[in-house]
Amino acid sequence: MVRRLRVRVPGQGLHEFTDAVGELVRASGVAEGLCTLFIPHTSASLIVQENADPSARRDLEAWLCRLVPEEDALFTHTTEGPDDMPAHVKAALTATSLSIPIEGGRLALGTWQGVYLWEHRHQRGDREVVVHVAG
């Protein structure tokens, strides 16, 4: 089964969508298998991360922004704004796909894990994630 999810993002940062993926897995009827997620965008990424303490997500975002600052004089790709090229670099350093095992008809995530879209641009809107469930 392949489905496309729309994930609404209010701007830069980590945005959890674990429940939406879990619902697709449940609806698929697959008891044992693999859920693969892919984001067909060049300025956003996917990550499995702690979903209990929001400070972990804030710290990750702050660290990545410090690692790849906007307005870097090395960047020549600036047509779409000062956050565009840093967003491409951030996406290149992180993941555009995830694979999560399915056990007992559910994502085999740990107690404190959630699935996140990591938006690297400041703009708000929708992003698309391709979800493939196989068993």
CA distance readout (Å), 73 to 61, 68, 131? 21, 12, 37
Q: What is the pLDDT of residue 30?
A: 98
Q: What is the pLDDT of residue 41?
A: 97
Q: Give the tens place of pLDDT for each residue, 67-86.
A: 999 999 999 999 899 999 99
Domains, the chain, in order of start with CATH, read 2-134 (2.60.120.460)
In angstroms, rounded to a whole number, what is the distance separating the alpha carbons of residues 23 and 28? 9
Q: What is the pLDDT of residue 116?
A: 98
Q: What is the DSSP string of 6-48?
A: EEEE-SSEEEE-HHHHHHHHHHHT-SSEEEEEE---SSEEEEE
Q: Radius of gyration of the chain from Cα atoms?
A: 16
Q: What's the whole-number mean pLDDT along residues 10-28?
A: 97
Q: What is the pLDDT of residue 49?
A: 97
In angstroms, rounded to a whole number, what is the distance separating the alpha carbons of residues 132 and 3? 7
Helix (H) or strand (E) holding 4: strand 2-9
CA distance readout (Å), 120 to 21, 54, 107? 21, 17, 26
pTM exceeds 0.75, yes or no:
yes
Q: What is the pLDDT of residue 118?
A: 98
If DSSP codes are grouped into helix, strand and coil, which group holds residue 109? Answer: coil
